[in-house]
Amino acid sequence: MSGSRENHREDVIGRANVEDTPELLAYYDELDRHSAGALWTVANKIEPWQPKSQSVPVVWRYRDLREHVLRSVQLVTPEKAGRRVIYLNNPGRTDVSAAVGWIYAGLQVMNPGEVASAHRHSASAIRFIMEGSGAYTVVDGHKMTLGANDFVLTPNGTWHEHGVSADGTTCLWQDGLDIPFVNAMEANFYEVHPDLSQAVGYAVDDMTKTWGNAGLTPAGQRWSKGYSPMFKYEWAPTYEALGKFAQCTDGSPFDGVMMEYVNPATNGPVMQTLGASMQMLRPGEHTRAHRHTGSYLYHVAKGRGHSIINGKRFDWQERDIFCVPSWAWHEHVNGSASDDACLFCLNDLPVMRALGLYREEAFGDNGGHQPLV
Ligand code: GTQ
């Protein structure tokens, strides 16, 4: 028995609507034995009217999770664990270890002087620093130093290792990767560096010093790889840019003052599969609801507030992480009347856009706000 055929009966002309009979059930069993099936038993499921995300909206509260992440320091070493990470397991996506949709996320902790061995894989990653000092990542021989709300790219195929310098403090950060997506594509390779670590071959932070200058790129240098040469994006210039943009825009009715991190060589997304943005919700701002295809994983970089996702309220504060599944209605509220709130977002929009799957819709009723359920 295929088991999936009881999920859907819709009395709509043009949609599958075949009653089970003993003869048909026997026929389905026969097909099953031949590793085949009748399309009308699954058609309404595999071709929904609109996207049906298996992910559920979740807030991972840092004040609840932090102590559990820190406990892992007593329990395992980076050498034994490879990566000392507690991953965010969306209740609807435990089968693929995703935080939302096809995006994986985890919280990693590292003590001063520790380093995780160098490796590379087909999955692309970002590492977004939450707390601590002395964090660094080496990407293909380029060493990037990292502070809170900075993030570094470790694009697919690049050797990378994470560490915390001996004079630093315990660091916690969020990893975000496209592991579930690359696995779904059945294209994931993984390799440990033969020396377990790589030599640093360039001036520290060179890729950001070279490519991260607003409106300027290095004369005569070309960059043709599919990911951004600016391996690290820092918080201070990001926040400054949002502040400047806010002076001359009303912002998006759905997202406030929002800017996308780009590959300075192309103005495209930072990596081929993962995009990132930072948005500022001004004091008291309450955005209008909309929905779009693509999965969003938000990290509260600053402030506090709440989001209403598919009619349910989710409160958040600094360092919390929450997700908006594909095609879920969502609107954001800054909970402070005097200070701004900033949301970092990791998403799969580059995939949606590249494949022609991006679609967006505004919530029309009720002044653009969802009724709470
Ligand atoms: O740093 O490359 O959280 O490969 C999970 C898998 C981080 C990494 C994770 C990984 C990484």
Same domain, 310 and 193: yes
Structural domain that includes position 354: 59-368
Burial of 227 (0-12, 13-18, 19+ CB in 10 A): buried
Atom 9 (ligand 1): residue with closest C-alpha? 175
pLDDT recorded at residue 3? 37
End-to-end alpha carbon distance in the chain: 37
Give one DSSP letter per residue of 80-133, joined into a string: HHSS-EEE---TT-GGGT-SBTTBEEEEEEE-TT-BPPPEEESS-EEEEEEE-S
3-class DSSP assignment, residue 331 = strand
Residue tagged 């990001």 (tokens): 238
Residue tagged 């009347």 (tokens): 337
125 alpha carbon to ligand 1 midpoint, in Å?
7
Residue 51 within any structural domain of the chain: no
Residue 102: Cβ within 10 Å count: 23
- Per-residue pLDDT of the chain (373 residues), as tens digits, is 333 333 444 456 778 899 999 999 999 999 999 999 999 999 999 999 999 999 999 999 999 999 999 999 999 998 889 899 999 999 999 999 999 999 999 999 999 999 999 999 999 999 999 999 999 999 999 999 999 999 999 999 999 999 999 999 999 999 999 999 999 999 999 999 999 999 999 999 999 999 999 999 999 999 999 999 999 999 999 999 999 999 999 999 999 999 999 999 999 999 999 999 999 999 999 999 999 999 999 999 999 999 999 999 999 999 999 999 999 999 999 999 999 999 999 999 999 999 999 999 999 989 999 999 9
Same domain, 133 and 272: yes
175 alpha carbon to ligand 1 midpoint, in Å?
7
Give one DSSP letter per residue of 353-371, joined into a string: HHTT---EEE--SGGG-PP
Residue 29 within any structural domain of the chain: yes
Beta-bridge partners for 257: 280
Q: Which of 117, 151, 177 has most ligand 1 atoms within 8 Å of its beta carbon, as the pocket-test mutant?
A: 177
Residue 258 within any structural domain of the chain: yes
- Tell me if 233 sits within 8 A of 242, measured CB to CB: no
Tell me the CA distances in angstroms from 196 to 45, 116, 368, one per residue in order.
46, 9, 53
Q: HSE on the CB side for 51, CA within 13 Å? A: 20
Residue 53 within any structural domain of the chain: no
pLDDT recorded at residue 12? 66
Report the nearest atom of ligand 1 relative to the CA of 123.
4
Query: How many structural domains compose the chain?
Result: 2
pTM of the full structure = 0.95
pLDDT recorded at residue 8? 44
H-helix or E-strand spanning residue 64: helix 62-75
Residue 46 within any structural domain of the chain: no
Q: Which of 114, 175, 188, 191 has most ligand 1 atoms within 8 Å of its beta carbon, as the pocket-test mutant?
A: 175
17 alpha carbon to ligand 1 midpoint, in Å?
45
Same domain, 9 and 74: no
Residue 47 within any structural domain of the chain: no
Same domain, 20 and 161: no
Name, in order, each residue with C-beta under 8 angstroms of 154's C-beta and a sequence gap of 6 or more.
124, 125, 126, 127, 137, 139, 160
Residues with C-beta less than 6 Å from any ligand 1 atom: 83, 85, 106, 108, 121, 125, 154, 162, 175, 177
Report the nearest atom of ligand 1 relative to the CA of 119.
2
- Tell me if 99 sits within 8 A of 126, measured CB to CB: no
304 alpha carbon to ligand 1 midpoint, in Å?
28
Angle (CA) 290-96-174 rounded to 5° is: 70
Same domain, 201 and 298: yes
251 alpha carbon to ligand 1 midpoint, in Å?
34
Residue 49 within any structural domain of the chain: no
What is the rounded CA–CA span in Å between residue 143 and residue 228? 15
Q: Which of 60, 69, 83 has most ligand 1 atoms within 8 Å of its beta carbon, as the pocket-test mutant?
A: 83
Same domain, 15 and 74: no
Same domain, 19 and 90: no
pLDDT recorded at residue 2? 37
164 alpha carbon to ligand 1 midpoint, in Å?
16
Same domain, 264 and 337: yes
Residue tagged 């295929």 (tokens): 2
- Whole-angstrom Cα Rg for the chain: 23
Same domain, 29 and 176: no
Same domain, 142 and 17: no
Residue 220 within any structural domain of the chain: yes
Beta-bridge partners for 174: 107, 128
Report the nearest atom of ligand 1 relative to the CA of 190.
4
Same domain, 147 and 11: no
pLDDT recorded at residue 11? 53
Q: Which of 84, 97, 108 has most ligand 1 atoms within 8 Å of its beta carbon, as the pocket-test mutant?
A: 108
328 alpha carbon to ligand 1 midpoint, in Å?
27
Same domain, 33 and 125: no
What is the rounded CA–CA span in Å between residue 148 and residue 171? 9
161 alpha carbon to ligand 1 midpoint, in Å?
10
Task: Name the H helices within 200-275.
Answer: 206-211, 235-246
pLDDT recorded at residue 176? 98
